[in-house]
Amino acid sequence: MHDSREVLARLRAFRSKFEGLLASARKKAARVRVAPRRPTRLRELTGFGANPGNLRMFSYAPEDMPPKAPLVIALHGCTQTSDEYDHGTGWSSLADRLGFAVVYPQQQPANNPKNCFSWFLPGDIARGDGEALSIREMVEHAIATFSADRRKVFVTGLSAGGAMASVMLATYPEVFAGGAIIAGLPYGCAGNVQQAFEAMFTEHGHAAQALGDRVRAASRHRGQWPKISVWHGTSDPIVKPFNGEDIIRQWTNVHGLSDSPSYQESIGRHTRRVWNDANCKALIEAFTIGGMTHGVPVATTTGGERCGAAGAFFLDVGISSTHHIARFWRLHESLVEMPRVAAPVSVPTQIPTDDRAAVISGAAAEDAHSSAEALLAEREERQRRYPLDPNVVIAAAFKAAGLPVPEIPTAPPGATPRVAPGPIIAAALKAAGLVQS
């Protein structure tokens, strides 16, 4: 009985803290001038299939969208609706520009009084059950309704929606080509309400292998895994930043990647890390947004890259996560190129720190709010067109060490750079004195 009272008291304390933080964030946002809410652009779709999670389905698709266009599933956070999430993130506006459909699953207060997705309840986060199955049914219905390309289905979400995106990526990995988790949590970190609060507020130091095993155990999938974009603010008081690191460790383990990123870069106060596979293809990226609290990073003052609207849990930090996630998923390659920001009059100074990292300094630091998104677009395009050749790096390392330089064959134009082990081994044997020439 004594233990039960302690558990209940701890649960009440967690709940009070959570509700207080939500209320404080909304009160703070109410004091900031924001753009007036436009009429809804979404329409509700019913009869989408089995709905054991008792969710509602809203959607948006451009009028002239061609067949085989991509499909994005966007999951709102606690206390939000689908329309509020669309207004804040700007996904439907971007869909107009690029030509893809968006589906917005919506929670109901009957399931959760704060309108949070049930990312922590066993009956809602297992393949074939509850809310996870409801969302999976929406995906299939949307593919048929909009003639979407089932090879280009993606899922994203904020907070509880971000945690639910983790659920969908783990339980239906064959459905999604990629995902983006904003201020969310790793899959399988909680099994009830108290554990959910503990996961949000208290660091547990989960091992990467254990985190990865939870994803692998969620389905029988053993094929290609989705690519993942992770976003988290360094000052998030509601879902502590260590959760973002756990998501990264969960998916680097699933993908079989190193704990250390392939490269990283600083953009003002923010940091972007990228993990590549052996072919220099980016599989995981992680944005750490300096000083940001709990919400979606948006950019409302950066010309052609602006997207969404500032408000409660939509925080103007000069980087549009919506734009950037779309680029990471290559949505801009489906129909038309995304608009670029005109080059600023004052060119930012980039100080190289290693082969792949740069720090914005001087005048650029002051202008980072307006230039960060343009810099990201330029860098990603350069990385895509001119991928780093690992043989060049290895040859340079041999030369710097005073060793015989491997005679690397010239790759055919347009070929993906791959390690040439033969010349490297030959050079190493020569350096060791085991061969004469």
Catalytic residues: 159
Residue 241: DSSP 8-state: T
- Helix (H) or strand (E) holding 321, with range, is helix 321-328
Tell me how far apart the alpha carbons of residues 129 and 136 are, in angstroms, rounded to a whole number. Answer: 10
Tell me how far apart the alpha carbons of residues 423 and 429 are, in angstroms, rounded to a whole number. Answer: 10
- Which residues pair with residue 315 across a beta bridge? 297
Residues with Cβ within 8 Å of residue 320, at least 6 apart in sequence: 90, 297, 298, 299, 302, 305, 306, 307, 308, 373
Full DSSP string of 303-351: GGG-BS--BTTEEESS--HHHHHHHHTTGGGTSSPPPPPPPPSSPPEEE
Tell me how far apart the alpha carbons of residues 223 and 173 are, in angstroms, rounded to a whole number. Answer: 9
Residue listed under structure tokens 């964030």: 25
CA distances from 312 to 98, 125, 161 (A): 27, 27, 15
What φ, ψ does residue 426 adopt, rounded to 5°? -60, -45
Q: 112 is written with which tokens?
A: 């959760």
